[in-house]
Amino acid sequence: MGVKNQAKIKKMTIEEAQQEVDNWIKKVGVRYFNELTNMAMLTEEVGEVARIIARRYGEQSEKASDKEKSLDDELADVLFVLICIANQTGVDLTKALEKNLEKKTQRDKDRHQNNPKLH
C-alpha cells in the first residue's frame, strides 16, 4: 500500500474497513474463502500473534526469525480475516461492537472497580 492509502487506513471507520475488505476480495481475492476456511485462517493468524507476544513480551526466548515478525502486521492479518468472516455472515461490526460494549458496561460496571487486583 502506498503512503496515500496508509493515511486513509488510519482514519478508517469499521464500516469503511468492512467495505474496503469486500472491495479487495472482489477485485483481488476473486471470492471469499468459505466460513470454515476463514475460521481456520483466523485461528492461524491469532497463533502468529500469540507467538510474537509470548516471545517478545512473555518469558519465551525470541529467535532471530521471530524478530523479523511485525506485531502490527500480524494483528492486521487477524483483523482482515475477522472482517471477512463478518462480511460473509452479514455481521455489521460497528453495531456488534457498540452492542458488545454496552453489554460489558452493564455487566462489569462494578466488578472491575471493586476488584482490588486492578488497583
**Residue-level pLDDT at 118:** 87
**Residue-level pLDDT at 47:** 97
Higher pLDDT, 96 or 68: 96
The whole-angstrom separation of Cα 89 and Cα 32 is 11
In this predicted structure, the answer to whether residue 8 has a pLDDT above a threshold of 70 is: no
Q: What is the mean pLDDT of residues 7-23?
A: 87
Cβ 97 vs Cβ 14: under 8 Å: yes
**What is the pTM for the complete model shown?**
0.84
Residue-wise pLDDT tens digits, 97-117: 999 999 999 999 888 888 888
**Residue-level pLDDT at 119:** 85
Cell digits of residue 29:
481475492
Write down all domains in the chain, each with its CATH number in brackets. Answer: 18-91 (1.10.287.1080)
**Residue-level pLDDT at 27:** 96
Assign 3-class secondary structure to 101-112: HHHHHHHHCCCC
Residue-wise pLDDT tens digits, 34-87: 999 999 999 999 999 999 999 999 999 988 888 889 999 999 999 999 999 999
Banded model confidence at residue 91, pLDDT cuts 50, 70, 90: very high
What ranges in 1-119 are assigned the alpha helix state H?
A: 3-10, 14-24, 35-56, 64-67, 71-89, 93-108
